[in-house]
Amino acid sequence: NSIVLPELANDTIEPHLNLRPKNFDEYPGQERVCENLKVYTQAAKLRGKMLDHCLFHGPPGLGKTTLAGIVAETMGYQIKVTSGPVIERAADLMGILASIESKTILFIDEIHRLPSNVEEILYSAMEDMRLDILIGQGPTARTVKFDLPPFCIIGATTKAGAISAPLRDRFGIQEHLDFYSPESLTKILMRSAKIMNAQLENEAAFLLSTRCRGTPRIANQLLKRILDFALVSNKISIDCDVVNLALKRLGVDSEGLCIMDRDFLKIMKDRYQGGPVGLDAIAAALNEEKSTLEDVYEPYLVYRGFVLRTARGRMLSDLGKNHLDN
């Protein structure tokens, strides 16, 4: 598989740190999505046809890229990875599509950031497996049709709503990934600890699973830092004490919120009396990009009920207020 994500490139350099699951059995959580994908992949194999194009949406770090890799592995396809912001011009996408081989998954991360003229090329590529290339200008212009080998696009996005309807409609399979339960995250953490040769106690894994914003990527990141604390303080096995100590030092609170999450809530409370307030105002006060707040921080705060999204703007809930007061 020729996956060229930076994260995976690192994994190859340090194979013992390759935490990315390779198949459905190694991928706890997202049960409904996985069960559906198992059916779709099996059916495609039985028919001897390419898998339909897939769109995975949900907050960052929940396993969309990983899932694309698992689908490729299950189907026996190769996978090529690119992302919306990288494909700036129509010619870039044509180049990628023209070089695609049969039985390939083209994984497009952040697909909502494809420019609209590039998107239009994808339409016919996805629907008719064909590239329509316009040559020349004015009355002499003509379209050359270029057949593409069977391929499958897997798009990933943190913002399903930002994808245009015609593009969205061309994905036969659409799945939403949600935040993970502590039980699933405990399994993920125990597996990661094993790969990293660390002794993680069950209770400690569970404690950490409740403090990582329901997100495997954050769970793994925190685990790595906790291992640092354990190593430096000569602890062989990771217990709840080490987890608590490390999380405190990392600024992660009892609900798993990080410093930025709490600042988000504090701005709402102190400057806007709990709202309603627009995300632009919060972003300006935090000196952060609005899109980062919207994609990375806000979804979990809304999921946990600390922030409410209303037609008039964001409001701090009673739960959010109480959390800040404690």
Please state the closest distance from residue 65 (CB atom) to ligand ADP, in A.
3
Catalytic residue check, 158: yes
Active site residue 261: no
For the CA atoms of 127, 156, 205, 324, the dihedral, rounded to the nearest 10 degrees, stands at -140
Least Å distance between CB 308 and ligand ADP?
25
The least distance separating ligand ADP from the CB of residue 59, rounded to whole angstroms, comes to 8
Residue 186 falls in the annotated catalytic set? no
Catalytic residue of the set 41, 104, 157, 158: 158
Which residues are annotated binding-site positions for Mg(2+)? 65
Catalytic residue status for 224: no
- φ/ψ region of 48 (left if φ > 0, alpha if ψ in -120 to 50, else beta) reads left
Pick 64 or 170: Cβ nearer ligand ADP: 64
What is the Cα–Cα distance from 290 to 294, expressed in whole angstroms? 6
Residues 80, 109, 211, 304: which is the catalytic one?
109
- Output the known binding site for DNA: 309, 314
CA distance 200 to 204: 7
Alpha-helix residue ranges (DSSP H) falling in 113-179 = 116-128, 165-169
Q: Cite the annotated binding site for ATP by residue number.
A: 19-20, 61, 64-66, 170, 180, 217
Q: Of 217, 262, 295, 304, which one is the catalytic site residue?
A: 217
Distance CA 155, CA 108 (A): 5
Question: How many Cβ atoms are within 10 Å of 5's Cβ, its own excluded?
Answer: 17
CB 94 within 8 A of CB 131: yes
CA pair distance 68, 22, nearest whole angstrom: 10
Nearer to ligand ADP, 97 or 156 (CB): 156
User: Residue 266 in 3-state DSSP?
Assistant: helix
Q: How far is the CB of 13 from ligand ADP (least distance, A)?
A: 15
Residue number, 184 or 317, with CB nearest to ligand ADP? 184
The single-letter code of the amino acid at 315 is M
The residue among 63 and 299 lying less far from ligand ADP, judged by its C-beta, is 63
211 in catalytic set: no
Query: Which residues are at the interface with ligand ADP (CB under 6 A)?
Result: 19-21, 27-29, 60-66, 156, 188, 216-217, 220
Block residue for tokens 């069950």: 202
| Residues involved in catalysis | 64-65, 109, 158, 217
